[in-house]
Structure 1
Amino acid sequence: MRINVKELIAKGKPVHLQESMDLSGLLGGRQDLLSFGELKADLSARADGEVAVVEGTLTLHVTMECSRCLGPAEERLTVPFRESFTMEPASADSGGEQDELHQITEDFAELTPYVEEAVWMALPFVPLCKEDCKGLCPECGTNRNERECGCSTERIDPRLAGLADLFKDTTEDP
């Protein structure tokens, strides 16, 4: 996926890009991804002076492993996308704006690496199958979303566990 920056700036007419991308090379090796669909990119490019601005949304359906119950967590990612490109050399007075402006040396700007980066950063760090997922029982491993296991949920700080045993001995003696 690429745009002709030189032509876009010269004509000053916006360009609409709608493409699908296969992300198998990018996401194929991830262990936490159970499946993923094709990326749909709906972008528009416009000239802003000597800068080409590409913005829009990226949409991707992913199925990941829930971080609590290990079941499938399906999510439709809608990722905002905005990148700016210029053919002009960097100037010293541009300051912080330069960090967001990509200088290119040819007529075309290749968008694929920027799209891939946006998708990579948008993947959930802690995917959940649902907001109130109860997870797995730490004692028996039962999925608490499906049924209750009956295991004790009382938590005792391991540093104080010895004190709990001390109090049991004094209450049992008559």
Structure 2
Amino acid sequence: MNFNIRELMSKDTTITFDQSIDMNRVIEGRPDITYISPVKVELVVRPEMGGVIDVRGELNAELKLQCSRCLTPFAKSYVIPFHERFKLADSPEEAEADEDFEFVSEERVDLTPYMEAEMYMNLPYAPLCDEDCQGLCPTCGNNRNDKPCGCSNEKIDPRLAALQDFFKKD
């Protein structure tokens, strides 16, 4: 998905992108994400005053993940808003001065790296099948969401273990 900044500014037209792209590179090295569907991209690219190109829209993807607490596989849909503003940089100093724009040195802009970065930043750090997921029992390994196991998971500080029976009466 490319556009030419000078051409868009001179014609004062709007471009729309409505297509699906492969973003499997985004999930490489993530064992907790097993699948990402082709990402449906809906973007509107329009010129603004001052040589700025505004790109807005959203990215839609279906992911198959593994819960970080109970290791259960689950699927989740993500709708990620996308907004970037591009401007042609006349000099390197200008690019460092303003953080409101993505300054580019080439007239042709490829949106794919920006979309991949946005998708990557919105992936869950530790995916959960449910906010109230109980996870696995550290003693027996049972999934506590399915049924309680009854294991005592009370941790006693080993330095105080000798005092455990101190207050017990015979």
TM norm structure 1: 0.86
Q: How does 1:136-155 map to 2 (within 5 A)?
A: 136-155=136-155
Q: How does 1:7-156 map to 2 (within 5 A)?
A: 7-49=7-49, 50-89=51-90, 98-156=98-156
Deviates more, 1:105-114 or 1:152-161: 152-161
By how many angstroms is 1:16 displaced? 1.0
- For the residue of structure 1 that corresponds to 2:7, the secondary structure is helix
- For the residue of structure 2 that corresponds to 1:167, the secondary structure is coil
- The amino acid that maps onto 1:67 is S
By how many angstroms is 1:80 displaced? 1.1
Q: Deviations over 1:123-170 (max 9, x none)?
A: 0012111121111011100001111111124444455333223334xx
Cα distance in structure 2, aligned partners of 1:93 and 1:27? 34
- The amino acid that maps onto 1:77 is Y
1:47/1:33 CA distance change after superposition, 3 Å: same
* Structure 2: segments with no counterpart, 5+ residues: none
Query: What is residue 161 of structure 2 aligned with on the other side?
Result: 161
1:17/1:32 CA distance change after superposition, 3 Å: same
Deviates more, 1:50-59 or 1:80-89: 80-89
Q: Deviations over 1:37-66 (max 9, x none)?
A: 111111111111110011111111111111
1:94/1:24 CA distance change after superposition, 3 Å: closer
Aligned positions, number: 169
- The amino acid that maps onto 2:69 is R
% identical equivalent positions: 39
Cα distance in structure 2, aligned partners of 1:89 and 1:95? 11
The structure carrying a bigger helix percent of its residues is 1
1:74/1:158 CA distance change after superposition, 3 Å: farther
- For the residue of structure 2 that corresponds to 1:165, the secondary structure is coil
Q: Deviations over 1:64-93 (max 9, x none)?
A: 111110111322111111111112425978
Q: Deviations over 1:77-110 (max 9, x none)?
A: 11111111112425978986x2231222332111
RMSD: 2.2
By how many angstroms is 1:32 displaced? 1.7
* Structure 1: segments with no counterpart, 5+ residues: none
TM norm structure 2: 0.87
Residues 16, 44 of structure 1: 8 Å contact kept? yes
